[in-house]
Amino acid sequence: MKFKKWILSVAVVASVFGASQSAFAISGLADDYASAVPFALNHELVTFIAKSDSDWYTYQNNTSSTQFVVLSALAYQYNPSLNVDLEVYLKSPNNSGLVYLGTAADSGPGLADVYTRNLLPGETIVWVVNGHNPESDIGIYRTSVVGV
Ligand SMILES: [Ca+2]
Ligand SMILES: [Ca+2]
């Protein structure tokens, strides 16, 4: 069941975006939680990871229902020389601290790292995109949060 859901998630990530939004950031933007970029559901961003860079993003479930969300990060246009990783945290409504949830399994260069979770009403999921090798994984990537 869990595996099936994961397969579904990947299919959704692959199909949901007709036209992606584009914004080219530079190192120094969204480098920590305080400057994290807030996402709406079913939003994708194309941006740049610099040397030793990390980019922080957040999505809050503002609805009254639990949402199953799929986070992903991958090299733009499947560039096989770029491997980005996805680290995930949770902020609950009555706790200001971040709880580390885990790092998505590494799919390797050019491929999507995917993380899924049921997000309760009010919860905020926080994800960080890093170069797999911070010294050499530099380039354009895409990241998204999709509700299934
Ligand atoms: Ca950054
Ligand atoms: Ca990776």
Residue 69 has pLDDT above 80, yes or no: yes
User: Quick check: 8 pLDDT over 90?
Assistant: no
Domains detected in the chain: 2-147 (2.60.120.380)
Smallest-distance ligand from the CA of 55: 1
Please, which pLDDT band fits residue 94 given cuts at 50, 70 and 90? confident
Q: Residue 9 and residue 13: Cα distance in Å, rounded? A: 6
pLDDT higher than 70, residue 129 = yes
Structure tokens at 143: 């990241």
Residue 59: strand pairing partners: 125
Measured in angstroms, how far is the CA atom of residue 21 from the centroid of ligand 1?
18
Q: What is the pTM of this model?
A: 0.83
Rounded to the nearest 5 degrees, what angle is found at the Cα of 109, between the Cα atoms of 107 and 111? 50
Distance 122 CA to ligand 2 centre (A): 29
Measured in Å, residue 52 CA sits from the centre of ligand 1 at 9
**How many angstroms separate the CA atoms of 38 and 49, rounded?**
18
- CA triple 83-106-82, angle to 5 deg: 5
- Beta-carbon contacts of residue 118 (< 8 Å; ≥ 6 apart): 66, 67, 68, 69
Element spanning 95, H or E: none
Distance 63 CA to ligand 2 centre (A): 31
Contact 67, 147 (CB under 8 A): yes
Query: What does the longest C-alpha to C-alpha distance in the chain come to?
Result: 42
